[in-house]
Structures are given as C-alpha cells and as structure tokens.
Amino acid sequence: MKGVLIAAERSGSGKTTITTGIARALSRQGRKVAPFKCGPDYIDSRHLARAAGNPVENLDSVMLDKTTLRQIFAQGCQGRDLALVEGVMGLFDGIEPRRFGGSSYDVAVQLGLPVVVVLNAASCSYTIAALLRGLQSLCRSTPLVGVIVNQLASSNHERLIRSALEQHTDIPVLGSVPRQTNPLAPSRHLGITTAAEMEENYFDACADLVQQHVNLDALSAIDLTSELQWQEQGIPKTTRICAVARDHAFNFYYEANLREIERRGYALRFFSPLAGETVPEADFIYIGGGYPELYAETLSTRQELHQWLLQHSAASRPLLAECGGMMLLTKGIVDGEGRHHPMTGIFAARCRMTGKRQALGYVQVQEPISLTGLVGHEFRYSTLEDVNEPYVFTLEKVTNGARSRDGFIKSKTLAGYVHFHFSSQPSLLDWLLK
C-alpha cells in the first residue's frame, strides 16, 4: 500500500491547499485516493473528501486508542490505491512534549506513515535548511522522506533554497510552489470556508497548482512502513431510523461516528433544519456542529422543526446535539450584532456569539463516573448565558488540568459544546442509548 502524511512546521504553511490539490490531481489521473485528516478537525477533512471523491476518516490519537486508530485507517484504505493523510498544526504539536502524543507525528508513528513536510519559505532562504534538519532529527520513529517548499517569491528565491537544502540535508525536494497573491479559499472564525460552500473550480485550482509544481509520481510511489489489517464489522439490518441534520448550518461529523450509529442498529436519514425538514418517524436524532449562527434568522422561523424536536425530546426518544446542534436546542442565539433569534427552547439557556475564541482543545470527562476518562474536543466562539439548567459534565482540560462544566440532559436529550468520537472508550453513544 502506498501512503504518506503531509505535515508542516506550523499552521498556515499551506498544507491544506497542497494536500487538497494532491488529492484532486491524483483522482483526476484515475487514482483511488483514501483521504484522512489528523486530529478533530471537521472543515479541512471535508475539503479532502470532496477533492478525492471518497469519504474521509479522522485519525485522532488522543480520542482513540492505537487499535481503534489502526482499524479506522485500515478500513479507510480498503479498495484504494494510496492513503493521503493531512496533518494538523505543526508536525510535532500535540498534548505532551516527551513523545509528542496527539500530534501528526504520533499518528504517523502509530500507522507507519512516512512524512512529507510542507515548509513556508516566506521571508527566509538558507535558514530553511536548518528548519528541515531540525524536523528530521526528531523524526526518530518514522522517516521524513520529502519536502515541498511553499510560498516562493521568485525563481531566484527557489534557487537559493534548493541549493541550501541540497548542501545541508539529504531530503529530496518534491515540490516548489510559488506564492499565491490571494488565498484560494476564504476563511471565517472556525477555519476556511466549508467544502459544501466552495465551487468546484476551487478544487481544480488547487490541483492545477500542484500538478505544475509538485512531483506527483514521486509522491505517489512512497510506501507505508507497516502492514494494514482490517476486519470488517457488519452493519445489522434494522427498521430503526436515526435522523441526521446535514446542510450548510450543520455539517460537522466524523465519518466513523455515523458508522457507529449504524452498528447500533439505526438506518441513517439526512434532513435539513435550514429547509425546515423533519423526520417524524425517527427513533433517534443527531444534530452535529456547524455554523447555525450564520443562519440563525432562518432557523428561528422553522416552527415545524422546533415543534418536532420538542415532541421528540418529550417522548423520551434519544436526541444528541453537539456544539452548533446544542445552540439550536437552547432558547435562542444572540448574533454578533446583538440580535436575538429564538430557537427550540428545550434547554433554559441562551448562546451568545462573542467575536473571539472561547475554548479550544481536548477535555476529559471527570463526571459522570460512568464516562470518566472519555476524551472530547471543544472549539467555539460562543458562550452560554441565562443558564437555568444543571450541567451534566465536569470536564478537565488535557493539557493543563483546568476544570469546566458543560452539557445538559433531559430524559434522553443530551446537548453540549464538546464533540466526542463514538469509537472512544467509554462510549458516549452507548451511554446515551442505554
């Protein structure tokens, strides 16, 4: 099996644009690309999925143990020609410095993935050789097999950097990408614009850039350093239905989470809250994260949707809402202009957009006892106010031990800011469904 992890020295070096371009360029050549994203990210992963034309899997070595991580990776590689994994942040950025746990490097080591690093050459020349040597020296358990130099200002800039890399490193240069005057993808508060909002020409533009400046033949010839073993887990036949919210407002889901729901005996049926769609026969409702604040005015008018959610919750049928989904179930969303938009009102609390980040990072459940040790991830630009509900979770931040409260529960309706992976142990999904 061919495969490689595309990493970088820091966020903002261009690895998402380049990895997206590689995925689309190889798929245009008829290659079957298995796309993956390190860490808990939902937005970059969907760009990879659309570029490759295949479902994307998240590889998170904090929320998942090694066996589960390898199982998800092996399953995602079935029937594909090569695995293309996009890293997260800088190559070694994780939750602890001794073995770089939780980093892209940690994922590469556990899965036997060789590393190609994207380096941002803006405002430097020969020093980039020292940076590459430093990264290589810490890659003790998996090889750094290539470098793609990004943001080159001119042909002379490329010549200077290539000469330094050739004289001071033994890492082959697999690509030299010129500086782009304008970013190919616009951004907002949680990251780049979602894949669903992008036109097809964006993905082709990324591919055109890569085809012109990256050695795709050399890249796609790199072998994994470990064997894949995958045991298929069957999906039971069922008549039970899980309604999953999916539109421009709600689209943050791990592919594995949807599979885990199916393995619990539910058939998935997607619906659009923005369009006011309902699935009255649903036995279980799952509303993921997204950008409900951008569509709060429309969502507030969907009275039939609100009534359906209220009735489903009152009937003690399972309803799980994460982050943006939780916002939909509160009394309302106060947008960045201070306007209040009424929502479903299952929980007596209000969400206010703040214009600055309120939380980012991994958290571990301390209470309830039955979920102790479960790890999730939070990333939000809103806060709760006028809360008149008891919190269900006591959380501890993995990196510094800071404690916080999160989550509301009524009967079998559970909502909170934190995103969980359903393949984690203990299982939030099993806890809710029981």
Query: Which residues are the active-site residues?
Result: 323
SS3 359: strand
Q: How many angstroms separate the CA atoms of 107 and 88, rounded?
A: 10
- Asked if 389 and 397 count as a contact pair (C-beta separation under 8 A), the reply is no
Residue 11's H or E segment, with its range, is none
DSSP for 106-123, written as a single string = HHHHHHT--EEEEEE-TT
Q: How many angstroms separate the CA atoms of 421 and 288, rounded?
A: 12
* Residue 309, φ and ψ in degrees, nearest 5: -65, -40
Burial of 297 (0-12, 13-18, 19+ CB in 10 A): exposed
Helix axes 15-28, 200-213, angle to 10 degrees: 90
* Residue 211, φ and ψ in degrees, nearest 5: -60, -30
Q: How many angstroms separate the CA atoms of 255 and 42, rounded?
A: 10
Q: How many angstroms separate the CA atoms of 125 and 131, rounded?
A: 11
- Asked if 269 and 304 count as a contact pair (C-beta separation under 8 A), the reply is no
